[in-house]
């Protein structure tokens, strides 16, 4: 069996007494779309932060493309092809939309010059539907457009793996459909995707495999249909009384 | 990037014009003007130097006088040890670059106020060190530097041209940085350092590069200053006033471009000259007043003002008055 694209081995991250991520082990193969779900505070964002170097791991190992990358710096993650979107979008407010994306192309996407980066930026902005706003200051964008900008920025980095942290939060139904179409297209280009999402419909429809985090631990893993049936997942989302009642009804 | 009225070419034309006048000045002006011009170039070099770290990277550095003073002392000591003057200056620039490269990675981990306080502390520490190691630096008694032979007019010309060369080098470096990868990365850092890091900018290397550039130009200016005045002491070159004045000049003109710092230096020095010659006792209040004006009225500096609109409003005001007059008649 060949090495997976991303391999997590007993990864932990604690904040003082809070075990935000606890002993998580997982393998993500190249080309997969993996959903990462779990209730609020389960540790999803923290796990993304540890993978991309924004936080140091308290314990465990991370390998990306066979290389040990535990506690890499964020810029190293970016250059290795690990790119992420922020749950709370982080533009460069007084730069134009095009410059925001060009930065990704120049510093992580290996664009050879600022000129080339600007051109690449324009293509990515057209792709996410911001082609008409390239010269607007990023601070003037609406929330849905900021999310699109976030996506264009990540794409400009030419990632091998894209970690999407709630890119759909705050979008309406038609905007979500549009976002899903984009994500499928990105995946079709060969980018491996980990998607964090609260809307079950979205994750289940998109993902080939689901990882469930609860209190920082990986409690379940499997195909979307199986996950829906899993007691631990129901317990995590709806509370253990509901799960017990269900169990009682089944026996 | 520059919001100069009429665009970049006008800015460049004005700069080239001023440079031509400065080159001609020793032949057409008196000693007072040459001296003033030398200070203009000195502060331009310091302001453009500060702009790399303070403007582009957005780190509020008060380390200017640390580099300036270190440059002055290294240059003076090298000259006293028999090094030819121009080589002593280059040695001072190199020394400051090494100092900033060693200090940067630690100091630049501090953010905002902490960085500001940390950087001003460096100036104080350097001043103390220069005072304590009296055997080496002359301590509070100061340090004499060999006087340039050839008479005051010749010396005036040499030091004006030397300062002008440093200011010009700082300006050209700024233009290159502004257009290149470094300037873009620094602007990303200034806007959102974490996001820049996530986007592939090696933030520590970039910030340190800006700090080193800043140190080189401030150090060169300091070394030339030491040769020019032929005597330095710790309070003169590790000066808190200087360390405050330079960022105020840059902010007055507009930080983070090639032209803002120059506009700021000219505006500041013009104000200083005006007040200095007319109300001597008010002189010390100038810096304070400018800081207050900057904070409340000019957050983006003079260059970021919307000049066309302001001029337009004056014109509109005039029109309104004449219309009112016409109506009254
Ligand atoms: N920087 C931090 N300092 C201290 N505690 C933190 C920090 N970041 C996260 N935590 C804690 O770690 C736990 C996991 O938080 P995290 O943001 O990873 O959850 P999440 O699954 O992304 O939640 P959500 O669905 O609300 O986004 C929470 O208890 C949170 O309070
Ligand atoms: Mg989260």
Hey, is B289 helix, strand or coil?
A: helix
Task: Give the integer Cα–Cα distance in Å for A182 and A152.
Answer: 10
- Higher confidence at residue B254 or residue B287? B254
- The neighbourhood of ligand 2, an ion, using CB within 5 A, equals A 44-45, 87
Most confident of A234-243, B241-250, B295-304: B241-250
User: How distant is the Cα of B294 from the closest Cα of chain A, in angstroms?
Assistant: 20
> Total structural domains in chain A?
1
- Which residue matches tokens 């010009």? B168
pLDDT score, position B292:
76
Architecture of the domain delimited by B2-328? Orthogonal Bundle (1.10)
User: How distant is the Cα of B50 from the closest Cα of chain A, in angstroms?
Assistant: 21
With a CB cutoff of 8 Å and minimum separation 6, the contacts of B129 are none
Which regions of chain A are under pLDDT 70?
Answer: 1, 231-251
Task: Give the integer Cα–Cα distance in Å for B255 and B193.
Answer: 18
Helix (H) or strand (E) holding B297: helix B285-297
Q: Do B191 and A95 touch (CB under 8 A)?
A: yes
Ligand 1 atom closest to A47 (CA): 18
Q: Between the CA atoms of A147, A150, A156 and A158, what dihedral angle is there, to the nearest 10 degrees?
A: -100
Hey, is A84 helix, strand or coil?
A: strand
Q: Are A51 and A8 in contact (CB under 8 A)?
A: yes
Q: Do B199 and A108 touch (CB under 8 A)?
A: yes
Task: Give the integer Cα–Cα distance in Å for B36 and A32.
Answer: 68
Task: Give the integer Cα–Cα distance in Å for B186 and A228.
Answer: 47
Mean of pLDDT over chain B: 89
- The predicted-structure confidence for B170-184, as pLDDT tens digits, reads as follows 999 999 999 999 999
Q: Are A62 and A70 in contact (CB under 8 A)?
A: yes
Average pLDDT of B73-83?
96
Task: Give the integer Cα–Cα distance in Å for A169 and A178.
Answer: 13
pLDDT score, position A240:
53
pLDDT at B319 over 60: no
Candidate from B111-125, B151-165, B193-207, B285-299 with smallest mean pLDDT: B285-299
User: How distant is the Cα of A251 from the closest Cα of chain B, in angstroms?
Assistant: 51
Q: Residue A224: which domain range? A: 1-41+53-65+192-251
How close is the Cα of A56 to the center of ligand 1, in Å?
A: 14
pLDDT score, position B9:
85
How close is the Cα of A37 to the center of ligand 1, in Å?
A: 14
Q: Are A216 and A14 in contact (CB under 8 A)?
A: no
Task: Give the integer Cα–Cα distance in Å for A236 and A213.
Answer: 9
Candidate from A124-133, A190-199, B66-75, B268-277 with smallest mean pLDDT: B268-277
ipTM computed for the complex:
0.86
Q: Which of A79, A91, A99 is the closest to B200 by Cβ? A: A79
Q: Give the number of other CB atoms < 10 A from CB of residue B279.
A: 11
Q: Do A78 and B199 touch (CB under 8 A)?
A: yes
Query: Taking CA atoms, what residue in A is nearest to B192?
Result: A92
pLDDT score, position A249:
52
Torsions phi, psi of B322, nearest 5? -70, -35
Q: Is residue A247 part of a domain?
A: yes
Q: What is the CA radius of gyration of chain B?
A: 21
Q: Do A90 and B181 touch (CB under 8 A)?
A: no
Cβ-based contacts of A77 with chain B (< 8 Å): 198
Q: Is residue A183 part of a domain?
A: no
With a CB cutoff of 8 Å and minimum separation 6, the contacts of B327 are none
Any chain B CB within 8 A of the CB of A55?
no
Provide the residue ranges of all domains of chain B, joining segments of one domain with +: 2-328
pTM over 0.80: yes
Task: Give the integer Cα–Cα distance in Å for B317 and B329.
Answer: 19
Write out residues with Cβ below 6 Å of ligand 1: A 15, 18, 20, 38, 40-46, 87
SS (H, E, C) A115-150: HHHHHHHHHHHHHHCCHHHCCCEHHHCCHHHHHHHH
Q: Are A149 and A141 in contact (CB under 8 A)?
A: yes
Q: What CATH number does residue A198 fall under?
A: 3.40.50.300
* Pairing verdict, β B231-232 and B143-144: antiparallel
Residues 178-237 of A with CB under 8 A from B: none
Average pLDDT of B185-197?
95
Count of CA atoms in the C-beta half-sphere (13 A) of B326: 6
- The predicted-structure confidence for B88-126, as pLDDT tens digits, reads as follows 999 999 999 999 999 999 999 999 889 999 999 999 999
Using a pLDDT cut of 90, give the percent of chain B over it. Answer: 73
pLDDT score, position A246:
53
User: How distant is the Cα of B239 from the closest Cα of chain A, in angstroms?
Assistant: 34
Any chain A CB within 8 A of the CB of B237?
no
* B280 pLDDT tier (thresholds 50, 70, 90): low
Protein residue closest via CA to atom 16 of ligand 1: A43
Query: Taking CA atoms, what residue in A is nearest to B186?
Result: A103
- Higher confidence at residue B188 or residue B282? B188
């Amino acid at each position: 069996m060949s090495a997976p694209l991303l391999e997590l081995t007993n990864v932990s991250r604690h904040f003082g007494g809070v075990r935000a991520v606890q002993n998580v082990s997982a393998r993500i193969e190249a080309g997969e779309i993996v959903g990462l779900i779990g209730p609020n505070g389960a540790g999803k964002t923290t796990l993304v932060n540890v993978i991309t170097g924004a936080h140091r791991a308290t314990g465990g190992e991370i390998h990306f493309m066979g290389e040990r990358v535990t506690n890499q710096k964020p810029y190293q993650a970016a250059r290795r092809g690990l790119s992420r979107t922020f749950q709370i979008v982080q533009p460069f407010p007084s730069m134009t939309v095009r410059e925001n994306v060009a930065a990704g192309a120049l510093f992580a996407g290996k664009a050879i010059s600022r000129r080339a980066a600007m051109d690449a930026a324009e293509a990515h902005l057209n792709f996410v539907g911001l082609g008409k706003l390239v010269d607007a200051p990023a601070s003037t964008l609406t929330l849905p457009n900021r999310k699109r900008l976030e996506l264009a920025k990540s794409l400009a980095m030419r990632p091998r793996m894209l970690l999407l942290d709630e890119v759909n939060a705050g979008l309406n139904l038609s905007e979500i459909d549009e976002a899903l179409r984009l994500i499928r297209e990105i995946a079709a280009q060969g980018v491996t995707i980990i998607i964090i999402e609260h809307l079950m419909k979205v994750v289940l429809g998109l993902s080939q495999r689901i990882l469930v985090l609860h209190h920082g631990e990986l409690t379940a893993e499997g195909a979307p249909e199986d996950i829906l049936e899993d007691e631990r997942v129901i317990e995590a989302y709806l509370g253990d009384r509901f799960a017990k009642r269900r169990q009682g009804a089944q026996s | 990037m520059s919001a100069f009225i009429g665009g970049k070419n006008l800015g460049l034309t004005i700069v080239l014009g001023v440079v031509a006048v400065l080159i001609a000045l020793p032949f057409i002006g008196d000693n007072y003007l040459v001296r003033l011009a030398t200070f203009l170039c000195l502060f331009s070099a310091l302001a453009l130097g500060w702009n790399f770290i303070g403007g582009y990277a957005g780190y509020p550095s008060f380390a200017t006088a640390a580099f300036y003073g270190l440059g002055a002392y290294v240059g003076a000591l090298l000259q006293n040890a028999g090094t030819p003057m121009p080589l002593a200056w280059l040695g001072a620039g190199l020394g400051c670059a090494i100092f900033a490269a060693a200090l940067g990675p630690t100091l630049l981990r501090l953010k905002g106020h902490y960085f500001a306080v940390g950087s001003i502390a460096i100036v104080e520490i350097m001043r103390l060190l220069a005072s304590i190691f009296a055997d080496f630096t002359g301590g509070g008694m100061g340090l004499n530097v060999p006087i340039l032979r050839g008479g005051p007019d010749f010396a005036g010309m040499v030091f004006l041209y030397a300062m002008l060369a440093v200011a010009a080098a700082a300006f050209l470096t700024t233009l290159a940085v502004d257009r290149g990868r470094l300037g873009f990365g620094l602007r990303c850092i200034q806007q959102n350092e974490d996001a820049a890091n996530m986007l592939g900018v090696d933030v520590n290397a970039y910030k340190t590069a800006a700090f080193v550039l800043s140190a080189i130009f401030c150090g060169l200016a300091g070394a030339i200053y030491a040769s020019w005045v032929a005597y330095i002491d710790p309070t003169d070159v590790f000066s808190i006033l200087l360390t405050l004045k330079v960022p105020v000049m840059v902010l007055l003109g507009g930080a983070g471009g090639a032209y803002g710092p120059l506009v700021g230096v000219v505006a500041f020095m013009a104000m200083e000259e005006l007040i200095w010659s007319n109300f001597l006792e008010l002189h010390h209040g100038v810096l304070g007043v400018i800081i207050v004006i900057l904070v409340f009225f000019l957050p983006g500096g003079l260059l970021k003002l919307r000049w066309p609109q302001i001029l337009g409003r004056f014109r509109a005001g005039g029109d309104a008055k004449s219309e009112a007059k016409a109506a009254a008649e």
